């Protein structure tokens, strides 16, 4: 299992998976627009943690038809504020699908 201040513990809490961290939603914004005839939705959420950390999650997905098992989307996590006594590592990570995000979670949570 990853050390307590690995980003995976914070992402797990954000996604509602078992985590040693406690989280609450601090702020949420959503935008939708058309791009070449397809609807794109971007959602930005900021989460505050029990130890003072602040993490932003940005997720963007379009409604382009796809036969892929795991549709392409863009997910990014960024540490906006570190806790006072620790450093979250890595401080930034991006994925191009929910499947890659799930694999990363599983890999570092094992």
pLDDT tens string 62-94? 887 777 678 789 999 999 999 988 899 999 999
Which of 8, 16, 11 shows the shortest CA–CA distance to 56? 11
Per-chain mean pLDDT for the chain:
91
Average pLDDT on 2-17 reads 89
Residue 42 Ramachandran class (φ > 0 left, ψ -120 to 50 alpha, else beta): beta
Backbone angles phi, psi at 109, to 5 degrees: -95, -10
In whole angstroms, what is the distance from residue 75 CA to residue 36 CA?
Answer: 21
DSSP state letter for 16: T
This prediction has a pTM of 0.89
Query: Which pLDDT band holds residue 18 (cuts at 50, 70, 90)?
Result: confident
């Amino acid at each position: 299992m990853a050390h307590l201040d690995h980003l995976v513990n914070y992402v797990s809490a954000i996604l509602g998976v078992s985590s040693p961290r406690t989280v609450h939603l601090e702020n949420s914004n959503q935008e939708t627009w058309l791009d070449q005839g397809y609807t794109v939705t971007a959602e930005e959420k900021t989460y505050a943690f029990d130890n003072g950390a602040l993490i932003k999650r940005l997720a963007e997905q379009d409604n382009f038809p796809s036969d892929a098992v795991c549709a392409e989307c863009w997910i990014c996590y960024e540490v906006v504020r570190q806790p006072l006594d620790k450093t979250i590592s890595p401080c930034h990570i991006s994925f191009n699908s929910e499947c890659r995000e799930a694999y990363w979670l599983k890999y570092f949570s094992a």
